[in-house]
Structure 1
Amino acid sequence: MFKIPNLTLVQREPILQAASYTFQEGQIYLLQAENGSGKTTFLRSLVNLVPKKSRIISFGQVPCSQVKAKVFYFESSDWFNPNLSGKDYLQFIQQQWWSPIPLDPETQRRQMQDYYKLPIKKYSLGMKQKLLIDLYRVSGAQYLLMDEINNGSDQASREILYQQLIDLAQEGKLIIIASHYQDEIKIIVSQALSLKRLQLQED
């Protein structure tokens, strides 16, 4: 589990005010909020990419030195360096997150074996999304924070993704996902949360 105690987020306008919540492992949480209301900012705050006013966000009993290996967040395929290959990224994530998960089964499962050695500048948006999904899997992280992970994927690819999310949750992973495909993804989530609900939740 991980706890958010008294989290306050302010950008142009207040997003959260003294919000507290405890997320449980083995669950898939869907963040619900209007576009532009702070879902991405909230996810960024959990990995210290934006300023926040809060006590320490606690990831279970994990020492601070080991938190990196437990949490994975890659906001968008826009973050990819176009001159690197999918293989470069998969190897980097595997090494930096000290993951024992092998690469080849992942590329075969996502049908990336024909292009994952090519530079990303040659990838379509759908190909980039397949790579992005595999980064989460290869990381081996316990806590997975996903922002529009299914954006740009066709219906068949989204269905594969939803089954993968179910499998990951059954492995004990804790998943928080923000998605425009809320009607589709609601059928697999453990709980749908609005930012307003986080504000009302008692620690």
Structure 2
Amino acid sequence: MVQVTGLRKTFGHRVVLHDVNFAITTGEVVGLVGPNGAGKTTIMKALLGLLATDAGNVRVLGQPVSVNTHTVVTQQVGALIEHPAIYPFLSGWQHLQLMAASVEQMTWVVQALQMQTFIRRPAKRYSLGMKQKLGIAMALVKRPRLVILDEPMNGLDPQSVKRLRHLIGQMAGEGTTFLISSHILSELEKIIDAVILIDQGEMLLQRTMVQFRESARQSLVVRTAENAQALRVLLQAGYPVAQRGSNLVVTQPVALTPLLHTLLDAHIQILKVNQHQEDLETVLLRLLAERKA
């Protein structure tokens, strides 16, 4: 669906993209993540043919994309980049009329995002969340083959976020490909199949979520009635353990049963045991910290 090869972009003397390479397959939901200023929006604009690049190639559905060649984008791609382009005196329905091929398409997306109560109001009367929904609706209304969304969850209430997640999953199941940038990693993690990490214009990794979870560090969180004594007992037994607040954290995967027997044999009452695995946000922050170390 998407093939990016050797993408490079400079603004003056500042290099904002360094030899970026990645591919996205049909029906895949991919998260594009990284710190502010990492180059995420620049990549998205290049994919849409909105920004001239200094080197590299972008292909969507096998067709080249540039500022001079982006027919495939206008026909097959929907996008919300930065802020929705909204005319204040047009209603939401009129905005969709500018984008859609049929009333059926408009009705479908209004119902899917539950916009019926405000869709015919002038957009100047919209709240931030209503404007965001309209921007998303404009990106989805033609049921494009590829959808590019930049911070789509900004301004949405929890119910709307959940509804959007469901809609993205449904469309991806029908073959639509998504590239989504978001700082709300806890929500992004629930819907993406793969993640691309960008930092300072460089692509640090592209992994499936299965690979990501396999590389996530696991730990064991234990709380006892006598943490100080439990810490001494576990250290003497050779466990990699540290005290964090009211918990003892074993920082490497270990067999649970022998550890519990070690504590019980020392007559220490166990109050809580949890197994913890790093989430997407924790792993990415760790990778970025390791890069800067």
Q: 2:205 and 2:112 mapped to 1: Cα distance?
A: 41
The correspondence for 1:81, drawn from 77, 87, 92, is: 87
Residues 37, 66 of structure 1: CA spacing in aligned structure 2 closer, same or farther, 3 A cutoff?
A: closer
Q: 1:101 and 1:65 mapped to 2: Cα distance?
A: 24
Assess if the C-alpha contact under 8 Å between 1:4 and 1:20 holds in 2: yes
Structure 2 residue aligned with 1:2: 2
Q: 2:110 and 2:54 mapped to 1: Cα distance?
A: 40
- Alpha-carbon shift at residue 8 of structure 1 (Å): 0.4
Structural mapping, 1:106-125, within 5 Å: 106-125=109-128
Structural mapping, 1:140-179, within 5 Å: 140-179=143-182
Structure 1 residue aligned with 2:242: none
Assess if the C-alpha contact under 8 Å between 2:21 and 2:203 holds in 1: yes
- Alpha-carbon shift at residue 11 of structure 1 (Å): 3.0
Q: Is 7-16 or 40-49 further displaced after alignment? A: 7-16
Assess if the C-alpha contact under 8 Å between 1:18 and 1:199 holds in 2: no
- Alpha-carbon shift at residue 160 of structure 1 (Å): 0.9
Counterpart AA for 1:148: E
Q: 1:139 and 1:26 mapped to 2: Cα distance?
A: 16
Structure 1 residue aligned with 2:28: 27
- Residues 111-135 of structure 1 deviation map (CA, whole Å, 9 limit, x = unaligned): 2222211110000011112212212
Structure 2 residue aligned with 1:11: 11
Q: Percent identity?
A: 29
- Residues 41-88 of structure 1 deviation map (CA, whole Å, 9 limit, x = unaligned): 111111122221234411123585444211122324452111111111
**SS at the partner of 1:195?**
strand
Assess if the C-alpha contact under 8 Å between 1:30 and 1:189 holds in 2: yes
Q: 2:49 and 2:62 mapped to 1: Cα distance?
A: 19
**SS at the partner of 1:168?**
helix
**SS at the partner of 1:79?**
coil
Assess if the C-alpha contact under 8 Å between 1:7 and 1:19 holds in 2: yes
**SS at the partner of 2:87?**
coil
Q: Does 1:69 align with 2:81?
A: no
Q: Is 36-45 or 52-61 further displaced after alignment? A: 52-61
Structure 1 residue aligned with 2:277: none
- TM-score between the two structures when normalised by the length of structure 2: 0.62
The correspondence for 1:134, drawn from 120, 137, 157, is: 137
Aligned residue-pair number: 198
Q: Does 1:93 align with 2:96?
A: no
Structure 2 residue aligned with 1:53: 54
Gaps of 5+ in 2: 65-69, 207-293
Gaps of 5+ in 1: none
Q: 2:103 and 2:198 mapped to 1: Cα distance?
A: 35
Specify which structure has the higher proportion of strand. Answer: 2
Counterpart AA for 2:181: A
Assess if the C-alpha contact under 8 Å between 1:2 and 1:59 holds in 2: yes
Q: 1:85 and 1:4 mapped to 2: Cα distance?
A: 37
- Residues 154-189 of structure 1 deviation map (CA, whole Å, 9 limit, x = unaligned): 111111111111111111111111112112211221
Counterpart AA for 1:118: R
Counterpart AA for 1:75: I
Assess if the C-alpha contact under 8 Å between 2:7 and 2:57 holds in 1: no
